[in-house]
């Protein structure tokens, strides 16, 4: 699987569905800024099914992006598809406190 980070946005009547691919780390900053600009839906689903590793820099970028989308776009954000390790990571770093629903482990 390709380690390089990228994302896809699929828009439907329910909102914006974002699918993340690869690692989320210090190299993901610019794509996440682009992502924030592209969000228009009031309901945003972030799908981590194809995400590999997320390190502490990746968590910082993700938290910044989630906060920006919530405050600037007034969107609700849900997280799906995260693996067991990333679920632990989201829980201990507070990512889940900013999202409206998430998978339990």
Partner 1 sequence: MSIRTFRYGDRGTVISVSGTVPRVDARCWTREWNVSSSMDKEVIIGQLQNLFDGKDVNHDFLGQRAELIVDEMLENALYSAPRDTEGKPLFIKGCVRELLADEKITLRCAFDGKQLLLEISDSWGNLAPETVELFLSLNDNDTDPESDRAGRGLFILWKFLDYFYVNINPGVDTTMGGVLSLFPVIVEKGE
Positions in the binding site for partner 1 (CB under 8 A): 3, 25-27, 53-57, 59-61, 63-64, 67, 83-85, 87-89, 91-95, 97-98, 105
Question: Minimum distance from CB of 12 to partner 1 (Å)?
Answer: 29
Nearer to partner 1, 6 or 11 (CB): 6
Question: Minimum distance from CB of 60 to partner 1 (Å)?
Answer: 5
Nearer to partner 1, 50 or 55 (CB): 55
Q: What is the DSSP string of the chain?
A: ---S-EEEEEEETTEEEEEEEEEESGGGHHHHHHHHHH---SEEEEEEEEEEEE-HHHHHHHHHHHHHHHHHS--EEEEE---HHHHHHHHHHTGGGGSSB----
Question: Minimum distance from CB of 15 to partner 1 (Å)?
Answer: 23
């Amino acid at each position: 699987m390709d380690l390089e980070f990228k994302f896809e946005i699929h828009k439907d009547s329910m909102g914006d569905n974002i699918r993340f691919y690869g690692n989320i780390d210090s190299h993901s900053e610019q794509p996440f800024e682009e992502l924030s600009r592209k969000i228009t839906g009031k309901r945003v689903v972030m799908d981590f099914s194809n995400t590999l590793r997320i390190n502490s820099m990746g968590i910082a970028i993700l938290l910044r992006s989630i906060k920006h989308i919530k405050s600037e776009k007034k969107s609700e954000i849900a997280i799906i598809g995260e693996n067991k390790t990333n679920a632990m990571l989201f829980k201990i770093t507070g990512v889940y406190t900013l999202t409206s629903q998430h998978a339990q482990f």
